[in-house]
Structure 1
Amino acid sequence: MKQWAGEGPKIVVTGATGAVGRHVARGLGSRGGARLLVRDADKAARMELPGEIVTGDYQDLARLEEVLAGADAVFVVTANPLRPKDDENILRAAWSQGVRRAVKLSWTAVTDPDANDLIARWNRDSEALLRDSGLDWTVLRMRSPMSNTLSWASSIRKESMVRSPGGDARTACVDPRDVADVAVRALTEPGHGGEAYALTGPQPLTPREQAEQLSEVLRRPLGFEELTPDQALARWRERLPEPLAQALLEAAGRRAADASAGTEGDLEALLGRPATTYRTWAADHVSSFA
């Protein structure tokens, strides 16, 4: 593994090929780059992410210690509630290697008292581990990312059709690039220790409204088919273990009751600009749907 170069903050980005992590890597690239911990080095190379690409697994504590050695800060992204030791291992390795700062990606649902599904409970537990880690911590609680609608890309390209549960459920979805901009600030600037930021988009939209905006951006009509809860569950079961599929079903039920419709001002206050709209995000990603 290379020695740290330059005099800027030495930062490890976990989840560096993910929806937010890739943009954190690019944001840090203009500041000298970071060490990017990924599972698939080829995928990271195809993305042309700036920084030192290293591979590892969150279950491998010795490897995590090697990756985090000499770092000043770590961006913590874990994605599997069925692997609850992942957060613990990252934080344990960071502490043992003298890392001072940790910025964790979490979800706004942790503050909803009615959110008791597996994913919400796991995020609450992960935040508690972070607060008790001894590190200078910051939590970024994001609403559903706009990039989730990339799951519609195949049916849009092939059939000009969007299929989604909860067609009228409003969500203040957020641009992952905005979340990444906040993460870069929290990783590199003072003043964010002990803070939990709620990061949402500027406007609650339903899947139908998102499909309408995509149609306008693509300049062609798109159909919309609302999936029943049973149909949505069957689709999630095709690619996810049963506990995660059930958790997504519960979350969809809360969205139908407008649990995800609220907007927050943290993002605008931190970045000094408005949050990105879904229409802007869609226009910037039109090639994925065309």
Structure 2
Amino acid sequence: MTAPAPRRIVLTGATGQIAPLVARHLTSRHRVVLTSRTPWRGAPRPGVTHVTCDYDVYESLVDVFRGADALFVVTNDPTRPEHDRNVVRAAVEASVGHLVKLSAAAVLDSAAHDLITEWQRANEERVKESGIPWTMVQPRSFMSHALGWAPGIRSSGITHALHPHSRNACVAPEDIAEVSALLLGDTGHHFRSYQLTGPQPLSAHEQSAVLSRVLGRPLRCRELTPEEAHTRYTRRYSPAMADALIASAGRQLAGAKAQTTDTVERLTGRPATTFAQWAAGHRDRFA
């Protein structure tokens, strides 16, 4: 039997978490292009071409997207919706064969109306209206958000969280990447949406206990007030983004993020990664 011809697959978000992980699953079989708004400063990656794009100028994206059998769409700034419009517009003009959009599980929550969720809903609708075959990847919160605790763990053995006993069925970025790589360019997944979660919902308090066992040292999870959490968020994000994160935490407190799916196992043929497995694999980032 003749092996399938290699595809040209373009991944946006080269400097983020997911796209580089997706590339690892593709480079042995396909021609991969990673794009980002800033120049790539890391070591060259075998089988991967890096291209810097100006997302404010859709014409610069057309040249990169042209001839792509599939495009993995990652955008990360809801305050710059023109970037999302330009990506889809360029994909249409470049006649991209398949769009796989990294979205969010919150779009399915009818009670979620914060800035981030509404932005993702608008992005999904834009992709669906493009005329290009599409697939949505809708993950719950990334397990890697726990890496934000690393400095506090190293310095004082303390983690911090708003509503630390509320649970989230968070998912490993590596699982999101493996699923996304399977979907790209596969016509059997056209016009479908896949909600991805981890195998069990965990609270920040429970995650801290897992990290304590992995690191072999005691950790304490301290509860933040909404005001403290907002102050912490605004050190990194805009006030509007901070408001959205506070609202998201409120939905988690109400139980909106505790449901799990078996999507990772159905698509990959293996169980979804547990938080304990993920933490053990990233132990050096906390130690």
Query: Same fold judged by TM-score > 0.5?
Result: yes
Counterpart residue number, 1:26: 24
> Paired residue for 1:41?
39
**Residue number in structure 2 paired with 1:242:** 239
Is the contact between residue 166 and residue 203 of structure 2 (CA under 8 Å) also seen in structure 1? yes
1:106, CA displacement in angstroms? 0.5
Which of 189, 194, 208 aligns to 1:192? It is 189
- Map 1:20-99 onto structure 2 (within 5 A): 20-43=18-41, 45-46=42-43, 48=45, 50-99=47-96
CA contact (8 A) 1:170 1:261 kept: yes
SS in 2 for 1:140: strand
Q: 2:22 is aligned with what amino acid? A: V
1:12 is aligned with what amino acid?
V
Q: Aligned equivalents of 1:211 and 1:48: distance in 2?
A: 34
Q: SS at the partner of 1:41? A: coil
Find out whether 1:220 has 2:217 as its counterpart.
yes
Shift of 1:48: 4.5
1:223, 1:57 → 2: CA distance? 43
Cα distance in structure 1, aligned partners of 2:5 and 2:259: 41
- Structure 1 residue runs of 5 or longer lacking an equivalent are 1-5
Alignment TM-score, normalising by the size of structure 2: 0.95
Task: Work out the CA distance in 2 between the residues paired with 1:273 and 1:17.
Answer: 28
- Describe the superposition over 1:40-70 as per-residue Cα deviations: whole angstroms up to 9, x where unpaired: 3344x24847500111122121110111121
The answer to whether 1:171 aligns with 2:134 is: no
Q: What are the ranges of 5 or more consecutive residues in structure 2 without an aligned counterpart?
A: none
Distance across 2 between alignment mates of 1:217 and 1:71: 42
Q: C-alpha displacement at 1:100, in angstroms?
A: 1.1
One-letter code aligned to 2:162: P
Which stretches of structure 1, 4 residues or longer, exceed 6 Å deviation after superposition?
none
Question: 2:15·2:40 contact (CA, 8 Å) conserved in 1?
Answer: no
The alignment's C-alpha RMSD in Å is 1.5
> Does structure 1 conserve the Cα–Cα contact (< 8 Å) formed by 2:166 and 2:204?
yes
1:154 to 151, 164, 172: 151
One-letter code of the match for 2:211? L
1:102 pairs, out of 81, 99, 109, with 99
Q: Is the 8 A contact 1:16 1:24 kept in 2?
A: no
Q: 1:254, 1:60 → 2: CA distance?
A: 36
Q: Alignment partner of 1:155: what SS?
A: helix
Once the two structures are superposed, residues 109-145 of structure 1 have per-residue CA deviations (whole angstroms, 9 ceiling, x without a partner) of 1111110101111111110001001111000000000
Q: TM (normalized to structure 1)?
A: 0.94
**Cα distance between partner residues in 2 of 1:94 and 1:169:** 40
Assess if the C-alpha contact under 8 Å between 1:22 and 1:49 holds in 2.
no
Q: Structure 1 residues 259 and 72, CA, compared in 2 at 3 Å: closer, same or farther?
A: same
Give the whole-Å Cα distance in 1 for the aligned partners of 2:44 and 2:150.
Answer: 19
1:3-22 equivalence runs, <5 A: 7-22=5-20
Report the more deviating stretch, 24-33 or 119-128.
24-33
Matching of residue 285 in structure 1 with residue 258 in structure 2: no
Percent identical among aligned pairs is: 44
Question: Which amino acid in structure 2 is aligned with residue 236 of structure 1?
Answer: Y
Q: Which amino acid aligns with 1:135?
A: I
Taking the aligned partners of 1:48 and 1:152, their CA distance within structure 2 comes to 29
- Provide the residue aligned with 1:266 in structure 2: 263
Distance in 2 separating the partners of 1:165 and 1:49: 41
Partner of 1:3: none
The residue type paired with residue 41 of structure 1 is P
User: Alpha carbons of 1:131 and 1:153: their partners in 2 closer, same or farther (altered >3 Å)?
Assistant: same
